[in-house]
Structure 1
Amino acid sequence: MDRYGLICRAVLEQPDITQREMAQKLDVSLGTVNSLVKECVGRGLIAEDGPDNASRKWKILEEGRKLLEPYKVDGALIIAAGFGSRFVPLTFETPKGLLEVFGERMIERQIRQLHEAGIRDITIAVGYLKEKFEYLIDKYDVKLLYNPEYSSKNTLTTIYRAAKVLEGRNMYLLASDNWLRENMYHAYECGAWYSSELQKGETREWCLSYNKKGRITGVRIGGRDAWVMYGPAYFSREFTAKFMPVLKAYYETPGTEQFYWEQVLADMLDGEAKNRLAAEDPELLKRAAKESGVSPERWGEIEMDINRQPEHQVYEFENLEELRLFDPKYQNHSDNEALKLVSRVFEVPESEIRDIRCLKSGMTNKSFLFQVKGKHCICRIPGPGTQLLVNRVQEKQVYDAVTPLGITEHLLYLNPETGYKIADFYEGARNASSEDWGDLEQCMEMLRKLHTSGVRVQHDFDIRERIEFYEKLCKSHGGILFEDYEEVREWMNWLMDRLDGMGREKCLSHIDANVDNYLFLENGEVKLLDWEYAGMCDPMIDVAMCAIYSYYDEEQLDHLLRIYLKREPSEKEQFATYAYAALGGFLWSLWAVYKSVLGDEFGEYTIIMYRYAKKYYRKLRKL
């Protein structure tokens, strides 16, 4: 769209616009606007629609509408697939785009602003907590597009998945968690652009270089006093035709899984896209060039303009602390259960809970780190369906029983009804390494201390009962079991019958004594965490579970067993350990199938566990 088109758009959007206002919108002199208006009138694009200068109005003519037609915005794609780890614990319950700012959800504010500009065809790319966005279909007539790779890949993949939404169309590209003070959307757009904000001082944002016409010529990470990528973008159909073939080639290139889509643009501008694809696969490069209709040598000429926005117009909240500063509601009334709990336990307002950070989610629970009263603590939040898998009352009983041994983390709070737990965070601590046999010697020493402590609880960990329970959960929730499941299930029955016949003695066992649950403190102490499954059982189960979690082979498992026993195992000890390796693999494969039904996916873990069930059954049958 040229300047005549911009004059036509201004008249269409605001018939009573003054020429001074036009000059401000176009960022040109008043004299230039006066000349452009006269030319537009002379070309029959616009005409006066008022009796005098005092109440002058404009109207767009048919030729003006024809001029604008190719620039009509067809719709918008809103990216809302990610987790938003920097907003925990809020995003444990609510996707970031559905968080409210001044009483209005961020994604809804953007949808409303799009509607005000006449844009109704809106697609939302979802992933994490996708069901939470379903209500928007009825409320705003939007469409949802699911990205199945949201948990392991970045926005490059989301754009790849949305190719059919973008191709051949003029489309806004928005992030669900942006907040725009003033509506910056239009029914017609000049050409591709990226919103930008001037950031003073040092910045680690993506900084833009551009020429006198506002065309973006380069993108680099980090700079000083720079205009940075900040807020929405706009893809013209011409831009998309040249850009998407290169992005698709990047999707097929190893090592790009964590790329933002903007990396493709940056690489096209500086020539790296050609080099990367040529080095990876020359055929990919040829295909991208053919589909884009542009030779790789000219990819740097791709046309996207900088759309400079005034200060305080666009907000990209980097973390919960920024959101708290912007909207005071989040300082003391976040409506988040975890923050309300921490506030009650420590008897402080939510505003004094600081330095909140997401910790790596466990396979059963989610956790976050926070600081209060000068100390760091961890809050555990039970994951989906956990209430069916873990008896929290029994967990509390175990913690009470083993506390005198001094081998657990220091608990500050544990609610047996909800499963919420708060414990001290140990600065400088590390987990055990499955590849360090020195670490494993200390881990096994702690297990021996537990197993020989004489500490008892009133409940057993009955692996037969657990397998039957998980099996029932899987079948009742539509979980897809393995093709040969019935046969392997009979194998497991044979193993459990043999173990029952051995009459082995029980002791308090951790059940989940894997390397990630051992914490090595700076002072040399070792702690064993997360006693959710603990109960009375054969002690060999702890050795077996530690081994299969670490994906040990048979030789490594045997070595771990010798470390635990401090001698060669008896035939019964070896049989029991192998049997529990098989049964543990079977149990956790069922657990993973059930969790996948709830939306938690653990990749190859499910198959690896099932293979352990088969492997050690077959070995024991030979023995």
Structure 2
Amino acid sequence: MNIQECDILNAIISKPYENQRILSQTSGHSLGIVNRSVKSLIDTGYLNTDMTPTDKAIQEVSVKSPKTAIILAAGFGMRMVPINTETPKGLLEIHGEPLIERLIKQLHEVGVSDIYVIVGFMKEQYEYLIDLYGVRLIVNTEYATKNNLHSIKLAAKYLGNSYIIPCDIWCAENPFNQHELYSWYMVSDHLSSDSSVRVNRKMELVTVTGSGEGNTMLGITYLVKKDAAYVNERIHQLASDQRYDGAFWEESLYAKNKMIIPAKLVPADVAVEINTYEQLRELDSNSNQLKSDAIETASKALNTTPEAITRITVLKKGMTNRSFLFNCNGRKYIMRIPGEGTDKLINRKQEANVYQKINNKHICDNIIYINPENGYKITEFIENTRVCDPLNMIDVKKCMTKLRSFHEMNLQVNHDFNLFDQIEFYESLWNGKNSIYRDYHQTKAHVMSLKPYIDLQPKKKTLTHIDAVPDNFLFSTGSDQQETIRLIDWEYAGMQDPHVDIAMFCIYSFYNRAQIDQTIQFYFKNDCPDSTRIKIYCYVAVCGLLWSNWCEYKRNLGVDFGKYSLQQYRYAKDYYRIVQKELGKES
């Protein structure tokens, strides 16, 4: 049977035959296709002449009918800012009904009750589904660092006559059927430049080439047992390759620039993937989740209504926070939402004091609002900006000049950032767990032994940024073509030796020793004493361990920073040795 014949047979099995015209309407195929397909189904023994299914047809349906469903609900749902800080995307409500509950009910309507939900982010909020609907939860512990290919791998053994469903889909009509005769992948008739596939005349899903548009991918999929076995094998192959850590599970469906299964094409209003706050607002303007604390805060700070907050888009997820860009009354703003565990890492009252100190000094971006209790912050968006390129030494020299001019302002606040105390503090947040590094205690002892040398060196404490990394230097060009550099994100700022900022810039940039030496010379205008240079090497080691400990705390929260954390630990070990060698030369 071809696809058209399968659709027509399925329509006859689902509802007794009345006439060809009604069959055309229910199957979605033209009257001509219906006529040809009915004749073929009779000829091949799937239909009797009285238009009733044969035993052969019933057996075919029985073999291929849905048995299981896998719902993907592990991810952050980053594009749903600011809602994703409060509610996982599967529990967004449309007309008072959570998305995932609607999907489960629709599966139950067609007799599918063997349902697996892959969870990760805010996994505890899905636990109630076990008792309410009898689903089984599978926990993806790698949801923060790997994409949903790795979620599917955890449930791959359950694939076989199965639906695969993203949890953020709202379907006006039930997209599932009691009977399925072939595999398919659901796409919308809405065209989008974000899609990587398009439907051709044969109902195949082929990859989009160039800058063309494709059919909006909805992600709901059905796999018959034969195709599920192939996909299972492909998923395990891809998941074993680190290059696919960020891949979607659909990668397993491609072969020679097209999917191995055909399209199921639906109208744009039948199924909607809810990716953003505004999509939710368009679908249900009274949804409970629209009452976001962040949106309410933004509207009050800007003296407007929540409806005036539009064009909300997620910005790149930072190492500490989530931020989103939005429009309001013709202007653009950025709002920061503190990330996981930052209530322990950051003193927001101290941060607010820092911003008050640097206000109107043309050092940072323009702060519209900051809450010293929860860390919410709103800043004006600066057009035509870029961050410092740490491999461009012209950029680096400009950043060091900016950094030195800020330090020379000798600003004072009433709190310190003590490097050695912070190392101990971050370690205390591990809650008694041992370090993941086997030689941690030796490395820590080595780093702590650098303190006497640092203490002996002359220094003048001033307000220090602490997180003066390349990404926090914003270059912008105004209408007068004058270049301005702003230093942003002052969460960790406090009183400290300002030379710490040089070390921080270098270790975030993954600099080698030659690059570190050059950066030091930029700051000191080629006049850095050897004792100060060695002191900065000490800071490289100390700050390396500091951020390594910070990464270990975040790792315990399920947030892994990969190469960054490993490199910071290496700085702690390598620059301890470099300092010892340098001091040995001096003696």
TM bucket by the smaller chain?
0.7 to 0.9
Distance apart, 1:431 and its partner CA = 0.8
Distance apart, 1:201 and its partner CA = 10
2:453 matches 1:498? yes
Q: Give the counterpart of 2:281 among 319, 324, 328.
A: 324
Distance apart, 1:110 and its partner CA = 0.6
Aligned to 1:172: 163
Distance apart, 1:312 and its partner CA = 2.4
Aligned to 1:185: 176
2:27 matches 1:26? yes
TM-score (norm 2): 0.86
Q: Give the counterpart of 2:299 among 337, 340, 343.
A: 343
Distance apart, 1:257 and its partner CA = 5.1
Q: Which string of whole-angstrom CA distances, capped at 9 and with x for unpartnered residues, describes residues 201-251 of structure 1?
A: 99956211254xxx6374546999987654522100012234444454455
Q: Give the counterpart of 2:220 among 207, 215, 232.
A: 232
Distance apart, 1:446 and its partner CA = 2.1
Distance apart, 1:67 and its partner CA = 5.3
Aligned to 1:573: 532
Distance apart, 1:80 and its partner CA = 2.5
Contact 1:206–1:220 (CA under 8 A) maintained in structure 2: yes
Higher relative contact order (CA 8 A, sep 6+): 2
Aligned to 1:592: 551
Matched positions, count: 571
Distance apart, 1:135 and its partner CA = 3.0
Aligned to 1:402: 358
Aligned to 2:441: 486
The residue identity in structure 1 corresponding to 2:271 is V
Contact 2:400–2:522 (CA under 8 A) maintained in structure 1: yes
Contact 1:76–1:171 (CA under 8 A) maintained in structure 2: yes
SS of equivalent to 1:162 = helix
- Change over 3 Å in CA distance of 1:238–1:378 after alignment to 2: same
Distance apart, 1:74 and its partner CA = 1.1
- Change over 3 Å in CA distance of 1:173–1:553 after alignment to 2: same
- Change over 3 Å in CA distance of 1:337–1:81 after alignment to 2: same
Aligned to 1:284: none
The residue identity in structure 1 corresponding to 2:492 is Y
Contact 1:479–1:594 (CA under 8 A) maintained in structure 2: no
Distance apart, 1:357 and its partner CA = 1.2
SS of equivalent to 1:578 = helix
Q: Distance in 2 between matches of 1:8 and 1:146?
A: 39
Structure 2: stretches of 5+ with no match in the other structure: none
Structure 1: stretches of 5+ with no match in the other structure: 47-59, 271-299
2:353 matches 1:362? no
Aligned-residue CA RMSD (Å):
3.5
Distance apart, 1:528 and its partner CA = 0.9
Q: Distance in 2 between matches of 1:508 and 1:311?
A: 55
The residue identity in structure 1 corresponding to 2:391 is E
SS of equivalent to 2:165 = strand
The residue identity in structure 2 corresponding to 1:453 is M
- Change over 3 Å in CA distance of 1:195–1:607 after alignment to 2: closer
- Change over 3 Å in CA distance of 1:100–1:252 after alignment to 2: same
Q: Which string of whole-angstrom CA distances, capped at 9 and with x for unpartnered residues, describes residues 316-354 of structure 1?
A: 235433332222226x97121211111111121211111
Q: What is the 5 A alignment of 1:212-231?
A: 216=204, 218-220=206-208, 229-230=217-218
Q: Which string of whole-angstrom CA distances, capped at 9 and with x for unpartnered residues, describes residues 346-381 of structure 1?
A: 121211111211111211111111111211111111
Q: Give the counterpart of 1:606 among 554, 565, 569.
A: 565
Q: What is the 5 A alignment of 1:75-474?
A: 75-166=68-159, 169-199=160-190, 206-211=197-202, 216=204, 218-220=206-208, 229-230=217-218, 232-251=220-239, 258-268=246-256, 304-310=261-267, 312-329=269-286, 334-474=290-430
- Change over 3 Å in CA distance of 1:311–1:612 after alignment to 2: closer
Distance apart, 1:23 and its partner CA = 5.5
Distance apart, 1:188 and its partner CA = 2.5
Contact 2:106–2:174 (CA under 8 A) maintained in structure 1: yes
TM-score (norm 1): 0.82
Distance apart, 1:391 and its partner CA = 1.1
Q: Distance in 2 between matches of 1:447 and 1:415?
A: 26
The residue identity in structure 2 corresponding to 1:267 is A
The residue identity in structure 1 corresponding to 2:220 is P
The residue identity in structure 2 corresponding to 1:233 is T
Q: Distance in 1 between matches of 2:571 and 2:191?
A: 57
The residue identity in structure 1 corresponding to 2:226 is E
